[in-house]
Amino acid sequence: MSDDIDDEIVEPIPHPGHRDRVELLVHIKGKGQRLDQYIHYYLQDYSRTDLQDAIKNGSVTVNGKPSKASYKVRNDDALVVLLPEPTHSLPQPEDIPLDILYEDECVVLVNKPWNMVVHPAKGNWSGTLVNALQYRFAQQLALGNGALRAGIVHRLDKDTSGVILVAKDDDSLRTCCMQFEARKVFKEYIAIVAGELDRDSDYIEAAMKLHPHDRIKMIVSKDADAKEAVSYYEVLERFKGYSLVKVQPKTGRTHQIRVHLQHVGCPVLADKLYGGRNQFTLRDIDPKVSAENDEILLARQSLHAHRLRFKHPKKGTWIEAEAPLPSDMRRTLELLRLHRPLR
């Protein structure tokens, strides 16, 4: 599973008193996956090879019995994993500024900047959100998902900015993860896209699966193994050749918003994976601008997690946070209004 994930839950439940033991309950969306694939999805701190070895030596049980890596998990299977020793060092605290949108004794809502990976993984062992959280909150982070993902409830792409939820204790982590699993968390994104959508608002209902040849890319598919994916969009502003849209994903598939917008012919700007280009410049808006005076407006996909609403894990009250649009997207919109208005 790629680290570039629009919005995915992470839900291992630590066994009381045992940090090296994790329990997982298989939900419907995991049904049919190989056992090694399923546990690797939730335990990405460990390589798939390490987890396959753990399965071989009996350190993973399914409903109380050892199993094989090729076993296809079923809904409500109870998995217990005795974790192997990590092969890399734990994340070190780093003094990286954090934009805190909300904080109490249980949860923190952070406005994550683009170009920040959420948690350490291969190729990104420092400079992550977890490194910053370790410095800011020290021991006040849930460890149910392991030290490499301390406090992390869900993820955003490295280059997606916006609201992300962090849990301070394991009970809060578990409760928040269950809300994501049950699709009870309201998520709203804002994107600037190439093209003009036919309708002012609509649902995009297009099942998705992993690309057969590109392991970091998702595609829309009608194959039996494709998973349901639904997004609701509203056009906020129209320009000549471009649109500003608000998107509310009803499911949480990998890269869902980016794939769905590409599917309807309006890829997110500066999204190399699904739009073919990794930047958007002033000359794209105004071809009359000389090469010398050109300006890179977007050096990352123009996608922002604008709003998140969920129930407080202890109080049961609704908590909502909104992250203001980042400067690169604001600047792009100003220039679109100036050079590409609809008359």
Least confident range from 39-43, 100-104, 223-227, 242-246: namely: 39-43
More confident call, 237 vs 213 = 237
What mean pLDDT, rounded, does the chain reach? 88
How does pLDDT run across 43-92, given as a tens digit for each residue? 766 777 888 888 998 989 999 999 999 999 988 888 988 876 655 667 88
What pLDDT sits at residue 88?
Answer: 62
Catalytic residues, by residue number, are 157
Q: DSSP alpha helices (H): ranges in the chain?
A: 35-42, 48-56, 129-137, 170-181, 256-263, 272-275, 282-285, 327-339
Check pLDDT > 70 for residue 28. no
What pLDDT sits at residue 27?
Answer: 73
The span from the CA of 61 to the CA of 66, in Å, is 4
DSSP 46: S
Mean pLDDT within 206-231: 92
Q: What tokens appear for 92 in the block?
A: 């070190």
Q: Who contacts 196 (Cβ-Cβ below 8 Å, separation ≥6)? A: 238, 241, 242, 243, 266
The span from the CA of 291 to the CA of 313, in Å, is 53
pTM: 0.80
Q: What tokens appear for 8 in the block?
A: 């995915």
Mean pLDDT within 122-145: 87
The span from the CA of 40 to the CA of 67, in Å, is 15
Mean pLDDT within 232-249: 98
Mean pLDDT within 183-190: 96
Least confident range from 12-26, 192-206, 265-279: namely: 12-26
The span from the CA of 163 to the CA of 326, in Å, is 12
Q: Which residues pair with 79 in a beta bridge?
A: 24, 62
* Best CA proximity match to 327, nearest among 92, 161, 147: 161
The span from the CA of 136 to the CA of 51, in Å, is 32
| Cα four-point dihedral sign 216, 232, 227, 11 | positive
Q: What share of the chain in percent tops pLDDT 90?
A: 67
What pLDDT sits at residue 12?
Answer: 41
SS3 content of the chain, % helix, strand, coil (to 5): 20, 30, 50
Mean pLDDT within 105-116: 97
Q: What tokens appear for 49 in the block?
A: 């090879």
